[in-house]
Amino acid sequence: MSPTINQDGKGERTLSSTMEQAGGPRPARTLPPGSGQGDASVLTRRIEEANAAGRIAFIPFITAGFPSPAKFSAALRELDEGGADIIEVGVPFSDPVADGPVVEEASRRALAAGTGLRGILEELAADAACRRAPVVLMGYYNPFLQYGLTRFAQDAAAAGVSGCIVPDLPVDEDGPLRAALAARAVALIPLVGVNTSPARMRAYARGAAGYVYLVSVLGVTGERAAFADELAGAFTRAAGVFSLPLAVGFGFSGPEQLKNLPFRPQAVVVGSALLRFLDAGGSAADFIRKFFAD
């Protein structure tokens, strides 16, 4: 893939100019849930479809079970209905080293409310048939490991999960999970940073599917006012290595920040800002409407 950023040829478009298409009709999933196989390629397709419509794909992140189990279920539905292209669901962990205070607190409260991987998979499985947005699970390695990697891949695929992001599993250690997920056509989405060398990016590219998550700051999750200059360089490097869409995340709260970027990512992940909005009593439907309208 060339390092061209605006694959749709309409690079000057902003998010807001095209938001009316966000909730429009979209193709149904190709594999019916329950087939026992996931569909990693749907992730790539959904981002490409958004880009073809002149949009940066929107990927909200919400921690399962937060602010409460019931509110999480409602948020998941509203994000799907509101036009999220992909939804990242956080699997809470007691010791989230890559997360800032908002996600850490959300995880702590979700765990206190009894949220666990088994329950998350059951809930996702129950709604899989009526959800349009593919789901990606984001969580630390130990809960997956204790669940059993083979069984996890099987249950995740059956629950309609299309991909996984495991922030504490670098390419050097990801062999067992990658193999388990590959057997079920579930993507293991690479997480790379502004300090990742081209050589390490190439190592990630060898087994990558779905999309690539580019961490926009040298830091943890949480909203930021500005991004380092090095982000643009890292984006160009990543675009030169990966033949998959690039999503930027960590630090984004609204479309304003995207307009100010010196490059145009294929997708953006918004987490902490959404969690704070939900915790303050806001609805996911309002958040996504506001995000698209701005």
Partner 1 sequence: MKKGYFGEFGGCFVPELLMPPLLELEEACADILPGEEFRAELDGLLRGYAGRETPLTLCPTLSRELGFNLYLKREDLLHTGAHKMNNTLGQALLAKRMGKSVLAAETGAGQHGVATAAAAARLGLSCVVFMGEEDTRRQAANVMRMRLLGAEVRPVAGGTRTLKDAINEALRFWIAEQRTTHYCFGTAAGPHPFPTLVRDLQSVIGEETKAQCRSAFGALPDVVAACVGGGSNAAGMFHPFVADRAAGAVRLAGIEAGGTGEPGCHTSAPLNLGSPGVLHGQYSMLLQDADGQILPSHSVSAGLDYPGVGPEHAWFRKSGRVEYHVVVDAGALRAFARLCRSEGIIPALESSHALAWVLENAAALPAGGNVVVNLSGRGDKDMDIIREHMPDLCLPARTAEKEDGLCHRQ
What is d(CA 12, CA 4) in angstroms, rounded to the nearest whole number?
13
Q: What angle do CA 65, 292, 282 make, to 5 degrees?
A: 40
Q: Which is nearer to partner 1, 120 or 258 (CB)?
A: 120
Could you confirm whether 104 is annotated as catalytic?
no
Q: What is the DSSP letter of 268?
A: E
For partner 1, which stretch binds (CB under 8 A), given 56-64, 177-185, 213-221, 277-285?
213-221
Q: What is the DSSP letter of 134?
A: -
Q: Which parts of 81-100 interact with partner 1 (CB under 8 A)?
A: 93-98, 100
Shortest distance in whole angstroms from residue 15 CB to partner 1 = 27
| CB contact at 8 A, 56 and 266 | yes
Shortest distance in whole angstroms from residue 2 CB to partner 1 = 24
Shortest distance in whole angstroms from residue 147 CB to partner 1 = 7
Shortest distance in whole angstroms from residue 78 CB to partner 1 = 27
Could you confirm whether 88 is annotated as catalytic?
yes
One-letter amino acid at 48 equals E
For partner 1, which stretch binds (CB under 8 A), given 29-37, 46-54, 138-146, 181-189?
138-146
Q: Which is nearer to partner 1, 84 or 217 (CB)?
A: 217
Q: Which parts of 23-82 interact with partner 1 (CB under 8 A)?
A: none
What is d(CA 52, CA 244) in angstroms, rounded to the nearest whole number?
15
| CB contact at 8 A, 210 and 181 | no
CA distances from 113 to 54, 123, 232, 233, 256 (A): 40, 15, 40, 42, 34
- Out of 118, 151, 259, 290, the residue judged to bind partner 1 by CB under 8 A: 118
- Out of 4, 17, 35, 197, the residue judged to bind partner 1 by CB under 8 A: 197
Q: Which is nearer to partner 1, 52 or 226 (CB)?
A: 226
Residue 59 tokens, joined: 């990927």
Size of the site for partner 1 (CB under 8 A): 43
What is d(CA 67, CA 73) in angstroms, rounded to the nearest whole number?
10
Q: Does 117 bind partner 1 (CB under 8 A)?
A: yes
Sorted by sequence, the CB contacts under 8 Å of residue 142 that are 6+ apart come out as 93
Q: Does 108 bind partner 1 (CB under 8 A)?
A: yes
Torsion of CA 203, 47, 181, 159, to 10 degrees: 160
Q: Which is nearer to partner 1, 130 or 218 (CB)?
A: 218
Shortest distance in whole angstroms from residue 121 CB to partner 1 = 12
Q: Does 11 bind partner 1 (CB under 8 A)?
A: no
- Out of 163, 167, 245, 265, the residue judged to bind partner 1 by CB under 8 A: 167
Q: Does 168 bind partner 1 (CB under 8 A)?
A: yes
Strand partners, 75: none
CA–chain centroid gap for 202, Å, is 21
Q: Does 229 bind partner 1 (CB under 8 A)?
A: no
| CB contact at 8 A, 102 and 272 | yes
Shortest distance in whole angstroms from residue 290 CB to partner 1 = 29
Sorted by sequence, the CB contacts under 8 Å of residue 104 that are 6+ apart come out as 96
Indicate which residues carry an active-site annotation: 88, 99
Residues within the interface to partner 1 (CB under 8 A): 93-98, 100-101, 104-105, 108, 111, 116-118, 140-147, 167-173, 190-193, 195-197, 200, 215, 217-220
